[in-house]
Amino acid sequence: MGLTVTEKIIADHLIEGEMIPGSQIGIRIDQTLTQDATGTMAYLEFEAIGIPRVKTELSVSYVDHNLLQSDFRNADDHRFLQSIAARFGIKFSRPGNGICHQVHLERFSSPGKTLLGSDSHTPTSGGCGMLAMGAGGLDVAMAMAGQPFYLRMPKVVGIRLTGSLAPWVSARDVILELLRKMTVKGGVGKVMEYFGPGVGTLSVTDRATIANKGTELGATGTVFPSDEVTRRFLKSQNREHEWKILEADSDANYHEIIEIDLSVLQPMIACPSSPDKVVPVTEVAGKPVSQVIIGSCANSSYRDIVVAAEILEIRDIDPSVSFEINPGSRQVLENVDISGYLRILIHAGARIHQCGCLGCIGMGQAPATGTISLRTFTRNFPGRSGTSDDMVYLCSPEVAVASAVKGAITDPRDLGDAPEVVIPGIFTVNDNGIVSPPQDGSGVEVIRGPNIQPLPEFDPLPEDLKASALLKVEDNITTDHIMPAGSKILPLRSNIPEISRYVFSAIDPKFAVKALEAGSIVIVGGENYGQGSSREHAALAPRYLGVRAKLVKSFARIHKANLINFGIVPLTFVDPSDYDQILQGADIIIPGLRQAILAGSDTVTLKIGADQSIQARMELSERDRKILASGSLLNWVRAKIEAGQA
Ligand code: MIC
Ligand code: SF4
């Protein structure tokens, strides 16, 4: 039987396991990326593994999240990252050079290769025919050390595109439509693979927008074929030699096929405060907006910014709106300048910011109280913008600019004829923002400021777990709930004792204090627990506070992997209605937990309070079980190295 593109790439990289959906496989990783907010920890972990130089074909360390330097902390982290990159053979993308996913797509994406990144939107490079996936920093550190990346073989969902997009409708609307259909948990355990005649009508950056936002479906990755459009893109980046054709076989077998006729799509918008609360723009048109931002790794490429300039060349921004642009990369900014569009945007009154994540992760750009902010960003989880009662809508650049012009949410089709954006055949390429490591970095001194604290040590799993259900939460809890970000907390990413004080702070500001008093803790949760970011701090910091298990209805993929890496046992209810039986604060005992895990048992009994007991499922591989018993992946790897087995 024929293969899908996803299966072809996996087959080419398979080291362990069989390509049976749901079973564990280990694959070779060709490239890795990190960003600064997860990178400091990832490199401390890489250092702790004890390997002198990365073993990947290419590893890149980006600085794009923590760009505000309101004290020494972020600047210290930048220097640490630059020096440790030189030490271990990693390319370093300097602060201001752009968002990791946009820069990686432009300069390093390569059809048919695998990419693992310590950021959940790493699938962006799937727009260029890669199998690109997000993971926790420790998994990326292991990949840099030449170890396979372990995951469950995904189901491959085929998205068959026909037709072509109507004027004023763009790539963002394709993925918003899919989010409307499938919700934020519809992609868990799946790779979304696009095929069909409509694919050829989408540019690589359009495809990257769709691949990027597949993360909001909970998908493991999104893969586009590599075709003539891909070749032209790589040529425009002066990298045509990287091109190769990559298509699904005509008899490829998709787990499921979803048909989308591009020509019937209309402008869509995600309402507060979840990326899947999607409606046609017409349903919410007329609501006044106070801030409009074009940016983030989903929609900040050349065309996204030029579309805004084209619209604003003959129109004004409404005086009630702060219209802002966060270019995805320095290359985007430079080319928008060369083609004369930057001048138009400046003249129109756009606030042009540096290239990076900025307001997407609450690094500035917080909206005013009680006002609507319209953004081309990835996520609108409550409070993520930095304003606690925020009302953030997510949409295409076309909807964003039309709304900035009218001062209210606007269907761009109301503006008349749509602009035509011409993409340069060859971009001006300038890699000044990327520093290559020396051939031999062994003599490079790694610079550590006081913000870089050593990794905490974790003890092995106890035989019996006696814990308190200190917190019970609902469905769709995000990593932003568990370990918030923003300009105050993000600079603490390399200091676990400090950052752990903010765990669950938006839900219970006293959680950290209570946790340290409680000893061992079990968190109880609902469906899709841990959706969103890849930040391992959402496992690492709770573990530091004493969280030893999480009992939920279902987990998001990356969060579950991070829990295992830091020795937190992921449990799911055998009977989901047992969720209602557990009260917050209950005492929980799991007798023989360690033994049950090591013996390969699929279920375990939890004693709740004095007289209740329930069953929980443990969906764990052999490797997961050994890691959990050791207390963390690092403990396990170190023990293997000491025993001469790794
Ligand atoms: C995000 O968009 O939530 C982030 C910030 O990029 C995270 C990574 C992090 O928390 O550092 C992600 O998506 O993985
Ligand atoms: Fe940065 Fe936002 Fe993309 Fe995360 S989603 S990498 S914060 S731009």
137-179 per-position pLDDT tens digit: 999 999 999 999 999 999 999 999 999 999 999 999 999 999 9
What's the half-sphere exposure (Cβ side, CA atoms, 13 Å) at 188? 18
Given a cut of 80, whether residue 646 has pLDDT beyond it is no
Cα-to-centroid distance, 441 and ligand 2 (Å): 30
**Nearest ligand to the CA atom of 298:** 2
Question: What pLDDT, in 10s, does the model give residues 568-593?
Answer: 999 999 999 999 999 999 999 999 99
**Which conformational region is residue 160 in: left (phi greater than 0), alpha (psi within -120 to 50 degrees), or beta?**
beta
CA 616, distance to chain mean position in Å, is 29
Question: Can you tell me the distance from the alpha carbon of 63 to that of 61, in angstroms, rounded to the nearest whole number?
Answer: 7
DSSP 8-state symbol, 313? T
On the question of a common fold for 5-264 and 465-488+495-642, the answer reads no
Given a cut of 90, whether residue 642 has pLDDT beyond it is no
Q: Any catalytic annotation for residue 65?
A: yes
Question: Can you tell me the distance from the alpha carbon of 34 to that of 135, in angstroms, rounded to the nearest whole number?
Answer: 10
User: In angstroms, how far is the first alpha carbon of the chain from the final one?
Assistant: 36
Domain regions of the chain by residue span? 5-264, 268-415, 465-488+495-642
Q: Any catalytic annotation for residue 379?
A: yes
Please give the pLDDT value at position 554. 98
Pocket test for ligand 2, best of 103, 357, 394 (most atoms within 8 A of CB): 357
C-beta of 390 in contact with ligand 1 (< 6 A): no
Ligand 1 atom with the smallest distance to the CA of 38 is 11
Question: What pLDDT, in 10s, does the model give residues 455-513?
Answer: 999 999 999 999 999 999 999 999 999 999 999 999 999 999 999 999 999 999 999 99
Structural tokens at position 639: 């023990």
C-beta of 121 in contact with ligand 1 (< 6 A): yes
Q: pTM above the 0.85 mark?
A: yes
Please give the pLDDT value at position 644. 81
Instruction: Specify whether the CB–CB gap between 473 and 479 falls below 8 A.
Output: no
Cα-to-centroid distance, 379 and ligand 2 (Å): 9
Ligand 2 atom 5: residue of nearest CA: 378
If one looks up domain 465-488+495-642 in CATH, what number appears? 3.20.19.10
Question: Can you tell me the distance from the alpha carbon of 25 to that of 568, in angstroms, rounded to the nearest whole number?
Answer: 22
Task: Give the type of residue at 429.
Answer: V
Cα-to-centroid distance, 113 and ligand 2 (Å): 23
Given a cut of 90, whether residue 304 has pLDDT beyond it is yes
Ligand 1 atom with the smallest distance to the CA of 35 is 11
Q: Any catalytic annotation for residue 121?
A: no
Q: Which of 94, 379, 559, 594 is catalytic?
A: 379
What number of other Cβ atoms are within 10 A of residue 139's Cβ?
29
Question: What pLDDT, in 10s, does the model give residues 258-273?
Answer: 999 999 999 999 999 9
The fold of the 268-415 domain, in CATH, is Aconitase; domain 3 (3.30.499)
Pocket test for ligand 1, best of 61, 74, 120, 138 (most atoms within 8 A of CB): 120
Peptide bond into 396 cis (omega under 30): no
Q: What is the mean pLDDT of residues 316-320?
A: 98
Q: Any catalytic annotation for residue 170?
A: no
SS (H, E, C) 255-281: CEEEEEEHHHCCCEEECCCCCCCEEEH
- What pairing do the DSSP bridges indicate for beta strands 603-608 and 587-590? antiparallel
> pLDDT over 70 for what percent of the chain?
100
Question: Can you tell me the distance from the alpha carbon of 625 to that of 627, in angstroms, rounded to the nearest whole number?
Answer: 5
Question: Can you tell me the distance from the alpha carbon of 36 to that of 106, in angstroms, rounded to the nearest whole number?
Answer: 19
Ligand 2 atom with the smallest distance to the CA of 101 is 6
CA angle 20, 219, 150 (to 5 degrees): 50
Q: What is the mean pLDDT of residues 390-401?
A: 98
Cα-to-centroid distance, 450 and ligand 1 (Å): 24
Ligand 2 atom with the smallest distance to the CA of 295 is 8
Question: Can you tell me the distance from the alpha carbon of 133 to that of 120, in angstroms, rounded to the nearest whole number?
Answer: 7
If you classify domain 5-264 with CATH, what class do you get? alpha beta
DSSP 8-state symbol, 131? E
Please give the pLDDT value at position 109. 99
Ligand 1 atom 6: residue of nearest CA: 119
Instruction: Specify whether the CB–CB gap between 37 and 483 falls below 8 A.
Output: no
Question: What pLDDT, in 10s, does the model give residues 67-78?
Answer: 999 999 999 999
Please give the pLDDT value at position 641. 81
DSSP 8-state symbol, 288? B
Segments of 380-535 assigned E as strands:
391-395, 434-435, 465-472, 521-524
Pocket test for ligand 2, best of 68, 119, 294 (most atoms within 8 A of CB): 119
Give, in order, the Cα–Cα distances in Å from 368 to each of 68, 234, 293, 383, 451.
19, 41, 14, 12, 31
Task: Give the type of residue at 610.
Answer: A
Ligand 2 atom 7: residue of nearest CA: 361
C-beta of 384 in contact with ligand 1 (< 6 A): no
Question: What pLDDT, in 10s, does the model give residues 534-559?
Answer: 999 999 999 999 999 999 999 999 99
pLDDT class of 645 with cuts at 50, 70, 90: confident
Q: What is the mean pLDDT of residues 46-59?
A: 95
Please give the pLDDT value at position 178. 98
Q: Any catalytic annotation for residue 440?
A: no
**Nearest ligand to the CA atom of 295:** 2
- What pairing do the DSSP bridges indicate for beta strands 221-223 and 190-195? parallel
C-beta of 537 in contact with ligand 1 (< 6 A): no
Question: Can you tell me the distance from the alpha carbon of 216 to that of 349, in angstroms, rounded to the nearest whole number?
Answer: 32
The contacts found for 105-110 with CB under 8 angstroms, 24 or more apart, are 105/204, 105/205, 105/208, 106/237, 106/329, 106/331, 106/427, 107/237, 107/239, 107/331, 107/429, 107/431, 107/434, 108/31, 108/58, 108/60, 109/242, 110/30, 110/31, 110/242
Question: What pLDDT, in 10s, does the model give residues 322-341?
Answer: 999 999 999 999 999 999 99
Ligand 2 atom with the smallest distance to the CA of 360 is 2
Ligand 2 atom 1: residue of nearest CA: 357
Q: Which of 30, 76, 77, 119 is catalytic?
A: 119
Q: Which residues line ligand 2 (CB under 6 A)?
A: 65, 99, 119, 121, 296-297, 357, 360-361, 378
Please give the pLDDT value at position 638. 85
In angstroms and rounded to an integer, the radius of gyration of the C-alpha atoms of the chain is 24
Q: What is the mean pLDDT of residues 209-224?
A: 98
Please give the pLDDT value at position 643. 87
Report the range of poorest mean pLDDT among 105-119, 576-590, 628-642: 628-642
Average pLDDT over the chain reads: 97
| Angle, in degrees to the nearest 10, between helices 302-312 and 204-213 | 110
Residue 573 pairs in a beta bridge with 616
Question: Can you tell me the distance from the alpha carbon of 127 to that of 646, in angstroms, rounded to the nearest whole number?
Answer: 35
